[in-house]
Chain A
């Protein structure tokens, strides 16, 4: 498990569109209101780190390339 890469979101690019959360086959990504720039939008966070298999579907699906695996 130590080698598995997990998604990291670049919130400067993220549009909070929720595509990654819907695409995730195990629903590991949750959309939450965060404190970033006092923006009330619900941004994606990797909610279940251990369930994530690093399948990269979120990375591929992100329309603005805001997700990279690290």
Chain B
């Protein structure tokens, strides 16, 4: 724990019982936050804690487990905040001899923390303040010449300006973007975290881990798409996937093969005819952004710019890439990380923008400025709808013409939002704040869940996704769970109570708040926590847990002898602790319900999702019920807390009086 006010360091020994109950990663983070953040602390005040944590499995020789987590009290939602990111920072935290690095207090001047084998030190960062994330990394590398290359996490200008939708960047643009974690880092005057340790990371049974890894590696190596599969097939695939209302439990390895080829970019075109990509601030359909427009986003076209693949630590898929954008940005930026699907969708279909070159530029602007692309895209979409409805005049926007798809305006707005100038000052804190500034009547089309803008996947196609947008302690996340994730990960092969998805099962049933839906959403929530505690990657999990054997990895790394069901209970405990944190901070879980437009109220009249709607209120109730939280209020019940053993953990849990 680093106290930035006093410039002191304190090592906290974590009892083994905490790891057994909450794993590491987000679980350990939730424990520390719950224990050390005083109740009702201001998210951007000195009492808030910001933690960087590695995963339990990171560095043990396991694959797909190199993600690092940031935890804090979120200034965006007022509740639990976390974000995670790949790259190679996670093993670096362990190479320094720690599982997590936590910050409290506030430094007087901008500083960065440097840790090597000799220990931690705070270094003045006044010269770096105001620099973008890529330049900051470059300058730190010049300042600290070291034989081992440094792992750096840093904020950009958006984080310095405490924009509530700013994130923390690593390795030139990998982002832990969500929950407004960048703003918390900015509020502490902490510019960067720089790691350069080389201690050994130990595990209990390294040979067993290697055996599991080798079996997994063989499968991944063998999963390749045939050479003839080009991006032109993706829209057809998308169409065929929604042609039937029946579930087809395909092997997740197919997604691995697709990821190896295109990365997340496969969704750029595939998700359009499916209706998964939101269009025109979530009120349009593929008819507003037809093939003639979305074909520009064909991942093959993105791939043409790719000069090399980018892999995170311990990843066998390698979904990332580095793209040459010198020409498309007229020499402004040489390189960028390959735009992810989320960015392409948020700055493509959501804004009716058909210009791929803009997206490359915006992607790099956001990476350098340190801002969340999902939230930024949603916020601009909201502003464009305000403009369309006449709530905004060109005078109010500082002369910007906010008509749908205006590429030049989008670029200018992104620059303004990062700098916090002009009309960007209204939008820089996300949809909720912008809507508060612009007036209460804009509330009906301010698309967010508890302040967090949702990811680019439509709950009207996959209602379980909507449950997690609304019920997770960190709302608005597309990464927690969905019906499709559940189908691909084949949890039922290892967890006894997880319902099996049968071939030909009717997908319409997912629109009803049934016990089947409750079980699936609960399973999603629990396994995602196990994953976040282990440092695991979502794309490993979606590839199928029958291949990516996370439970076996965990047993081998720790020497425990737990079953998959035991680990799911740990997931439930982690999720419940995060929910307890929110309740303690005075959040009413029901307030996290996403905007009604996303559950089909009013229903769409055109496109693949026409007429689709479901009762979000009932869906939330069923999820709460299965989690063991109060069906009406979403507060974890006393009985559940006892069952999960919170009382034995020396923790003052929420008052149920």
Please give the residue numbers on chain A whose beta carbons come within 8 Å of chain B beta carbons, in ascending order: 13, 15-19, 22-27, 31, 33, 40-42, 51, 57, 60-61, 63-65
Are A40's CB and B311's CB within 8 A? no
User: Does B422 lie at the interface of the complex (its beta carbon under 8 Å from any beta carbon of A)?
Assistant: no
B549 in the interface (beta carbon within 8 A): no
Complex contact A17–B311 (CB within 8 A): yes
User: Among residues 250 to 305 in chain B, which have CB atoms less than 8 Å away from a CB atom of chain A?
Assistant: none
Stretch at the interface among B160-168, B314-322, B492-500, B610-618: B314-322
Residues from chain A with Cβ under 8 Å of B310 in the complex: 42
A8 to chain B, nearest CB (A): 18
Contact A17 B316 (CB under 8 A): yes
Report yes or no: A25 in contact with B62, Cβ–Cβ below 8 A: no
Contact A15 B91 (CB under 8 A): no
Residues of A within 8 A of B312 (CB): 18
B314 touches A18 (CB 8 A): yes
Smallest beta-carbon distance A61→chain B, Å: 6
Contact with A along B540-581 (1 / 0, CB 8 A): 000000000000000000000000000000000000000000
Which of A23, A33, A60, A63 contacts B308 (CB under 8 A)?
A33
Q: How far is the CA of A42 from the CA of B307 in the complex (A)?
A: 11
Task: Provide the bound-state CA to CA distance between A60 and B318, in Å.
Answer: 22
B232 to chain A, nearest CB (A): 20
Not counting A33-B307, A40-B309, A41-B309, a sample of 19 additional A-B residue pairs whose C-beta atoms are within 8 angstroms of each other reads: A15-B217, A15-B220, A15-B316, A16-B309, A17-B63, A17-B316, A18-B88, A18-B312, A22-B313, A24-B148, A25-B198, A27-B147, A40-B306, A40-B308, A41-B311, A42-B310, A51-B147, A60-B206, A63-B214
> Which A residue sits closest to B214, measured CB to CB?
A64
A19, B147: Cβ atoms under 8 Å? no
Q: Which residue of B lies closest to A39 (CB)?
A: B309
CB-CB under 8 A from B62, the residues of chain A are 63
Chain B residue, CB-CB nearest to A40 = B309
Task: Provide the bound-state CA to CA distance between A50 and B67, in Å.
Answer: 32
CB-based contact B148/A63 at 8 Å: no
The interface residues of chain A lying within 8 Å CB-to-CB of B63 are 15, 17, 63
Complex A-B, nearest 5 residue pairs according to Cβ-Cβ distance, in ascending order: A63-B213, A25-B198, A15-B316, A33-B308, A27-B149
Minimum CB–CB distance from A40 to chain B (whole Å) comes to 5
Q: How far does the alpha carbon of A33 sit from the alpha carbon of B309 in the complex, in Å?
A: 8
* Closest chain B CB from A55 CB (angstroms): 10
> Can you pick out 13 interface pairs between chain A and chain B where the beta carbons lie within 8 Å of each other?
A16-B311, A16-B316, A17-B63, A17-B311, A19-B61, A23-B91, A42-B308, A57-B200, A63-B63, A63-B213, A63-B217, A64-B210, A64-B217
Which of B62, B91, B312: most chain A CB closer than 10 A? B91
Identity of the chain A residue whose Cβ is nearest the Cβ of B261 in the assembled complex: A40
Beta-carbon nearest neighbor of A25 in chain B: B198
Please measure, in the bound complex, the distance between the C-alpha atom of A41 and the C-alpha atom of B210, giving whole angstroms. Answer: 22
Contacting pair A42 B92 (CB below 8 A): no
Once A15-B63, A17-B63, A27-B148 are accepted as A-B contacts, the answer to whether A65 and B210 lie under 8 Å apart by CB is: yes
Distance in angstroms from B506 CB to nearest chain A CB is 39
Instruction: Report chain B residues within 8 Å CB of A61.
Output: 61
**B contact residues around A65 at 8 Å (CB):** 210, 214
Bound-state Cα–Cα, A51 to B148, Å:
11
Q: Smallest CB-CB separation from B89: which chain A residue?
A: A22
Q: Is the CB of A26 within 8 A of B61?
A: no
Q: How far is the CA of A40 from the CA of B311 in the complex (A)?
A: 11
Q: Across the interface, which residues of A come within 8 angstroms of B311, CB to CB?
A: 16-18, 31, 41-42
Give B142-159 as 1s and 0s: 1 = Cβ < 8 Å from A's Cβ atoms: 000001110000000000
- Which of A15, A24, A27, A63 lies in contact with B221, CB distance below 8 A? A15
Contacts of A18 in B (CB 8 A): 88, 311-315
Query: Which B77-96 residues have a C-beta within 8 angstroms of A?
Result: 88, 91-92
Residues from chain B with a CB closer than 8 A to the CB of A17 are 63, 311, 313-316
Tell me the complex Cα distance, A65–B207, Å: 10
Instruction: Please report the C-alpha to C-alpha distance between residue A35 and residue B309 in the assembled complex, in whole angstroms.
Output: 13
Q: What's the minimum C-beta distance from B170 to chain A, rounded to whole angstroms?
A: 13
Question: Which residues does chain A contribute within 8 Å of B316, judged by CB atoms?
Answer: 15-17
Closest chain A CB from B118 CB (angstroms): 14
